[in-house]
Amino acid sequence: MAELPPPLTVLCLASEVKGQDFIRECRRLGCRVILVTRQSLASGDWPREALAETFYLPSLTQRDELVKGVSYLARTRVIDRIVALDDFDVEQAAALREHLRVPGLGATRAHYFRDKLAMRVLADESGILVPDFVHVLNDDRLRQYMQAVPPPWFLKPRSEGSAAGIKKINESAALWRHLDEIGDRRSWFVLERYVAGDVYHVDAIVSEREVVFAAVSRYGQPPFDVMHSGGVFTTRTLPDDSPDARALLTLNREVLDTLGFVRGVAHTEFIRGRDDGRDYFLETASRVGGAHIVELVEAATGVNLWIEWAKIEVSHGKAPYSAPARRQDHAAIIVSLARQEWPDTSTYTDPEIVWRLNKRSHIGLIVASADAERVKTLLADYERRVHADFFASQPGLERLPR
């Protein structure tokens, strides 16, 4: 009788408590799952029944220590896959794959899904529309840029997630002051023309360079406004056959193909300029969207992005992958900081509510329906009610609720 091959070992990096469904699905597929996370998350809500081993480090940001630690584990374990469950782990996972020669997204390609400058340069060179930008490196080029591109501008860290760390700059003197504060780290920033408009996101599953599933949604307020001015976070899925969705689905395929994304899940953001009506590529990431967008997509389509990502990661192109059949429902999410420690949402009783956030000092709901207009109406009503019942402002928040 032929000997069965050993189970695959999947090592997951997680700087945040997330990816529980990914871990469970890997285990269901017969894998041994090793979790490497921060010591401060030891008591987190991990699916311990699905984990073969868990290891803790003070931080996952110290690359040399991380490489040495995982290399030590590899002395007695064959590591077949390395997966970053959080955006801040993408480049660390790529460095580990390069060092241990584990297949998957390498350091160069991963850079295009973390570095806002790298992804803009490649997109721009390929003819994809991006807001005018310049690397915050050479003084003469910065002066030329500011003369050619009127303010306001966004000063963006190249490798932060979402709108974290972004500053809106209204005149050149303010930029030079900020650069003095940044000092020798200024080359880690990009300056970009501010484009007013609606911000969209496309959440996609990719298998062997083909986008096999994608859902288009539109944020209420742009994430920058929510994070830096204090506000309620909302986003709503769009019908696939709407003009907005069709245009963005095509543009999303072009972006992912240009950046060379082979397999996995991606979260990509675009802005439709209010003045010119054109769609600009903002950024992309080789992971699921934050702020409970996974739950939003599942409520509308029945597709769990974590689970499908696990299937693709384990197969790694060795077996055909087909995305599951999707529902054509519609959904919206609303999330806010709350002034109550444990908000009571019992007066929110509409049957379209399919998910409630259980998190200290936060309020969150997802509504879903086959009727897109019903979802739109409920979201508008809930945004007003959440402001009155729960809303607490924390301007300068560095991350959206996760």
Domains recognised in the chain with CATH numbers? 9-110 (3.40.50.20), 132-193 (3.30.1490.20), 197-389 (3.30.470.20)
> 251: alpha, beta or left, given left = phi > 0 and alpha = psi -120 to 50?
alpha
Q: Using the 8-state DSSP alphabet, how is residue 117 labeled?
A: H
Q: At what angle do helices 90-100 and 63-73 cross, to 10 degrees?
A: 50
User: How far does CA 85 lie from the centroid of its chain?
Assistant: 10
pLDDT at 201: 98
Count CB neighbours of 152 within 10 A. 13
- Residues 6 or more apart whose Cβ sits within 8 Å of residue 65: 57
pTM of the predicted model as reported, rounded to 2 decimal places: 0.94
CA–CA gap between residue 278 and residue 256 (Å, rounded): 19
How do the pLDDT tens digits run along the chain, 402 residues long?
Answer: 445 467 999 999 999 999 999 999 999 999 999 999 999 999 999 999 999 999 999 999 999 999 999 999 999 999 999 999 999 999 999 999 999 999 999 999 999 999 999 999 999 999 999 999 999 999 999 999 999 999 999 999 998 766 678 999 999 999 999 999 999 999 999 999 999 999 999 999 999 999 999 999 999 999 988 887 778 999 999 999 999 999 999 999 999 999 999 999 999 999 999 999 999 999 999 999 999 999 999 999 999 999 999 999 999 999 999 999 999 999 999 999 999 999 999 999 999 999 999 999 999 999 999 999 999 999 999 999 999 999 997 655 545 444
State phi, psi for 73 to the nearest 5 degrees: -60, -35
- Residues 6 or more apart whose Cβ sits within 8 Å of residue 230: 337, 393, 394, 395, 397
For 211-240, b/e burial (b = at least 16 CB within 10 A) is: bbbbbbbbbbbbbbbbbbebbbbbbbbbee
pLDDT at 5: 66
CA–CA gap between residue 188 and residue 357 (Å, rounded): 35
Give all strands of the β-sheet with 167-169 in edge-to-edge order.
Answer: 133-135, 189-193, 153-157, 167-169
CA–CA gap between residue 152 and residue 334 (Å, rounded): 29
Per-residue tokens: 195: 């484009």
CA angle 356–360–365, rounded 5-degree value? 20
CA–CA gap between residue 127 and residue 125 (Å, rounded): 6
In 3D space, the residue among 332, 265, 329 whose CA is nearest the CA of residue 301 turns out to be 329
In 3D space, the residue among 122, 164, 88 whose CA is nearest the CA of residue 281 turns out to be 122
Per-residue tokens: 162: 């979402």
Cβ(294)–Cβ(266) below 8 Å: no
CA contacts within 13 A on the Cβ side of 86: 19
In 3D space, the residue among 303, 239, 234 whose CA is nearest the CA of residue 265 turns out to be 303
CA–CA gap between residue 193 and residue 131 (Å, rounded): 6
Cβ(7)–Cβ(31) below 8 Å: yes
